[in-house]
Amino acid sequence: MASSAAGRSLSLARARSLGRATGRLAHSTLQRERDKALRNLTIAFPDLDEVRRRVILREMFIHLGQSLFEIAWMPNLDRAMLDQTTVVDGLDNLQRAVDLNKGVVLFTGHCGNWEWMAAAIGLLGFRMNVIARELYDSRLNQFIVDSRGRHQVTTIGRGSTSSAKAMLQTLRAGEVLGVLIDQNIKAESAEVPFFGRPASTPIGPARLAIRAGATAIAGFIERDGESQRIRFQEPIETTRNDDAIELTARLTHAIEEQIRRVPSQWVWMHDRWRSRKP
């Protein structure tokens, strides 16, 4: 793709600058998405005044623009550049989870540049796998899959006929499986609290962790000035007696806490509280 080739030819600083400009343009032109995001911000932060919510909204578009151009640039990311650009807190928590040798399910959300976090985990020497829906544009999808592969990250297609087997094999091999559970999708779900309201949330990843006896851990990435900061929380050992809905609620609460830390770095356009018929 010409756009991805152009992204690779840019410096990281230039890519981010163009991303910010793109985000500002999107904010000014995409009224429908802007209105949806503002409605969701009002649900999540009813105590904030309108001015503050609109500031978060604008910052979100700028952040997403930067993330988009960072993803185009990311084939250039190597271990040396990672050390220059990325701070990792709690790496010992991830290492401890891996050392239990039961497989690790890493729960996260669409916070910060989640593709950067996956790449960082691979570059740090962990066997990283992610569950991801195939994108509508096959060329863009292949670019992202190939980019992950350069960083030793394996993509497991969500909903493919072989995905369940691949996920179990990943955990039985003691590897890390990254999952995002902060969106309302067509999957086995349960309503758990999210910003004080019930939200339909996929429980399959928690069921998988419990079935496999894997270790669960929450991890997040956020933009911190010109750096990326990744945080891994304390690992959670699962047993067959655990409840998948309770585990999902616990990890959803961790996602909510991260969003509250940096509300401008989550995708507020998503219809998170939409009801789905069973």
Give me the tens of pLDDT residue by residue for the chain, a chain 278 residues long. 444 555 677 999 999 999 999 999 999 999 999 999 999 999 999 999 999 999 999 999 999 999 999 999 999 999 999 999 999 999 999 999 999 999 999 999 999 999 999 999 999 999 999 998 877 778 888 899 999 999 999 999 887 778 889 999 999 999 999 999 999 988 889 999 999 999 999 999 999 999 999 999 999 999 999 999 999 999 999 999 999 999 999 999 999 999 999 999 999 999 999 875 54
CA separation for the pair 211, 125 (Å, rounded) = 26
| pLDDT value for 2 | 46
3-state secondary structure of 134: coil
Q: Are strands 86-89 and 153-157 parallel, antiparallel or unpaired?
A: unpaired
CA separation for the pair 126, 129 (Å, rounded) = 9
| Cβ neighbours, 10 Å, residue 274 | 9
Tokens of 104: 């690790």
| pLDDT value for 224 | 95
Q: What are the start-end ranges of the E strands in the chain? A: 86-89, 104-108, 128-132, 153-157, 176-180, 189-194, 197-202, 215-224, 227-232, 236-237
CA distances to 191, 192, 197, 199, 259 from 256, rounded to whole Å, are 15, 12, 12, 12, 5
Sequence-separated (6 or more) residues with CB below 8 Å from residue 248? 181, 190, 192, 201, 202, 203, 205, 206
Tokens of 97: 């989870």
| pLDDT value for 6 | 57
Per the DSSP assignment, residues forming a β-bridge with 1 are: none
| pLDDT value for 30 | 97
| pLDDT value for 129 | 97
Q: Is the dihedral of CA 156, 252, 59, 226 positive or negative?
A: negative
Question: What φ, ψ does residue 107 adopt, rounded to 5°?
Answer: -95, 130
Contact 214, 238 (CB under 8 A): yes
Sequence-separated (6 or more) residues with CB below 8 Å from residue 169? none
